[in-house]
Chain A
Amino acid sequence: AQSVSQHNHHVILSEAASLELGCNYSYGGTVNLFWYVQYPGQHLQLLLKYFSGDPLVKGIKGFEAEFIKSKFSFNLRKPSVQWSDTAEYFCAVNAPGTYKYIFGTGTRLKVLA
């Protein structure tokens, strides 16, 4: 069965610090990978997605993620965080041709102004 692991449950950073959130998945075949963000009081929104091609994908608000197939990882990065990035971040996986999106437990990011 597919599963997604996010090892950082809570992260606190100061503004302008660099961010990297880990995501590992367990699935032997081809997968689609996603990062979603949930700002306080808002719905889940897509940050970025990977289906195929360049393993370095860029999303909204300066976020990027790198797919490393050999490590089953899809880590999220941002060079310089802002206070407005305070939110909960979820990694998700979906196998092409299937329909379920499997989510990790999330990482709560707090950025101090």
Chain B
Amino acid sequence: DTGVSQNPRHKITKRGQNVTFRCDPISEHNRLYWYRQTLGQGPEFLTYFQNEAQLEKSRLLSDRFSAERPKGSFSTLEIQRTEQGDSAMYLCASSPWGSGTNTEAFFGQGTRLTVV
């Protein structure tokens, strides 16, 4: 399967614990995005990487959230001291990038986080 891969698919954690999610984008896709989706809402942008550089973070991303893409390939999203309001589906997407290229984002199946 050459699509965007996310692990784990489901995570249940106790409030206050830290969690980390992994995203493997489509090979050679320079752009990587993290989105969050809650029930009844569309995906909300969290952050964006171009290669290893994190170029934008949404105001939705509090200081408990951190994302990395150390070698410009896979990415991790960590949530520290989880709260019940963090319960959501966390989506990763990737897209190719090149000068003048218009393209769509390719999404993974997401990691569903439940904070109890």
Is the pair A101, B40 in contact by a Cβ cutoff of 8 Å?
no
Give the interface size class of chain B.
Answer: 20 to 34
Is the pair B56, A103 in contact by a Cβ cutoff of 8 Å?
no
B108 at the interface (CB under 8 A from A): yes
Question: Which B residues between 1 and 58 are near A, CB-CB below 8 angstroms?
Answer: 3-4, 31, 33, 35, 40-45, 48, 50, 55-56
Give the distance to chain B from A107, nearest Cβ to Cβ, in Å: 10
Which of A14-22, A42-50, A62-70, A72-80 lies on the face that meets chain B?
Answer: A42-50
Residues of A within 8 A of B110 (CB): 43
Pick from A46, A100, A102: contact of B48, CB below 8 A: A100
Are A105 and B45 CB-contacts (below 8 A) given A42-B109, A51-B102?
Answer: no
Output the nearest chain A residue to B97 by Cβ-Cβ distance: A99
Output the nearest chain A residue to B50 by Cβ-Cβ distance: A99
Most chain B CB neighbours (cut-off 10 Å) among A34, A44, A49: A44
- Residues 39-79 of chain B: 1 if any A CB is under 8 Å from the residue's CB, otherwise 0? 01111110010100001100000000000000000000000
Q: Interface of B with A (CB < 8 Å)?
A: 3-4, 31, 33, 35, 40-45, 48, 50, 55-56, 91, 93, 102, 104-110
